[in-house]
Amino acid sequence: MRHGSLAIEGQSDTGRAPLVVAHRGAWRPAPQNSLEAFEEAVQLGCDAVELDVRRTLDGRVVVVHDARSGIRPIAKLTHQELQGRARHRHAPALEEVLELVAGRIGVDLELKEDGYVEQAMAIVKRRLAPEQYVVTSFRDSVLPTVKRSAPAVRTGLLLSPNRQIGRLPRRVAATKVDFLAPHARLARAGVLTWAAARELPTWVWTVNDRRALRLLSQDPRVAAVITDRPDRALGEQQRSTASIAAFTNS
C-alpha cells in the first residue's frame, strides 16, 4: 500500500483480494485500541486499522471502545481519570494514534457518538490525506456531518446484526454513504447482494473464523474484512490473491 492509501472498491473493480482491517489494532497480546496494537498491525502488513473514537469530560478526543469505565461514562471522566483506571490505562488521544500510523497504514475511524464530529475531523484532517482514511458510524446523524466537515472523505454506514434491514434504503439515501459496513451475519442475509446491485462496496465485520475469512476473501462483492485475527486474514488474502492471479493468467 502506498503511503497508507485506501481503496474501497470491490474485487471485481480492482482485481485484488479484500483489504485486511485490524479491528482495534492487532491486539493479541497488546491491549485493544492501544498504540502497541496499532504498531503491531503496521508490522504485520495490514491494509488498515479500525479504531473507536469518543470524547472525555475535558474535551479530549480519545481512542476507546467502551462507553463506560466501570459505572462511569467515558464522557464524565477526564482523559487523565480514564487512563488512571486499570482497564483503560492504554486509551490514547486520537492525535497520538494518528501521529503513529499516518502514512504507514490506512485508518478506519469509527465515531461512536455525535456531538464532537467537527472536533474529531479537524484532528484527522491535520494528519491524514482523504485517501488515507474512511469514517464509519452506526449513527445516521454523524455521517452527513462528517461529509460537511470533510467533503472528500469516504463514509460507511455500520450495520449491527440485530437491526432490521428494511429501513436500509432510506438510511443509505439519508446518509449518502460511499460504502456499507455490515456485520458478518448480515453477509448471509442478502446485504451483500443488495449493496452490489447499488454499486456500494462492503466492509464486513468482525470476521475471525477461518472458513468465513476464506469465503469472504474470495467474494468479489467484499472490499474489506474487519477482523480481530489479522494474521489469519492476511494468510487468506495471500491465498486469494494467488488464486485470482492464477485464474487471470490461465
Kind plus residue range of the DSSP H or E element containing 209? none
For residue 4, being part of any structural domain is answered with no
Question: What are 88's three cell numbers?
Answer: 483503560
- Between CA 228 and CA 219 the distance in angstroms is 19
DSSP code for 194: H
Mean per-residue pLDDT, 42-54? 98
Q: Is residue 5 domain-resident? A: no
Euclidean distance between CA atoms 61 and 63, whole angstroms: 7
The answer to pTM > 0.95 is: no
123-142: per-residue pLDDT in tens? 999 999 999 999 999 999 99
Contact between 36 and 222 under an 8 Å Cβ cutoff? The reply is no
What span, in angstroms and rounded, lies between the C-alpha atoms of 110 and 106? 13
Predicted pLDDT of residue 2: 45
In a domain, residue 206? The reply is yes
Beta bridge mates, 181 = 158
Please check whether residue 232 lies inside any domain of the structure: yes
Based on the structure, what is the number of domains in the chain? Answer: 1
Helix 210-217 crosses helix 230-249 at what angle (to 10 degrees)?
40
Instruction: Let me know if residue 227 belongs to a domain.
Output: yes
65 belongs to a structural domain: yes
Answer whether residue 1 is part of any domain: no
pLDDT of residue 7: 77
Task: Look up the CATH number of the domain holding residue 28.
Answer: 3.20.20.190
Q: Mean pLDDT score of the chain, rounded to an integer?
A: 92
Q: What is the mean pLDDT of residues 169-173?
A: 97
Question: In whole angstroms, how far apart are CA 39 and each of 58, 160, 226?
Answer: 27, 28, 17
Segment 5-21 mean pLDDT = 77
Could you tell me which residues come within 8 angstroms of residue 152 by beta carbon, excluding any fewer than 6 positions away?
130
3-class SS at 92? coil
Judge contact between 10 and 222, C-beta under 8 A. Answer: yes
Residue 151: the pLDDT is: 97
Which residues are within 8 A (CB) of 8 and not within 5 positions of it... i.e. 6 or more apart? 134, 154, 156, 178, 179, 201, 203, 223, 224
pLDDT at 223 over 90: yes
Selection from 41, 77, 40, 72 nearest residue 62 by Cα = 77
Domain with 77, as residue range(s), is: 11-249
Q: What is the DSSP letter of 206?
A: -
Exposed e or buried b per residue across 153-170, where buried means at least 16 C-beta atoms within 10 angstroms of its C-beta: bbbbbbbeeeeeeeebee
Mean pLDDT value of segment 173-180: 98
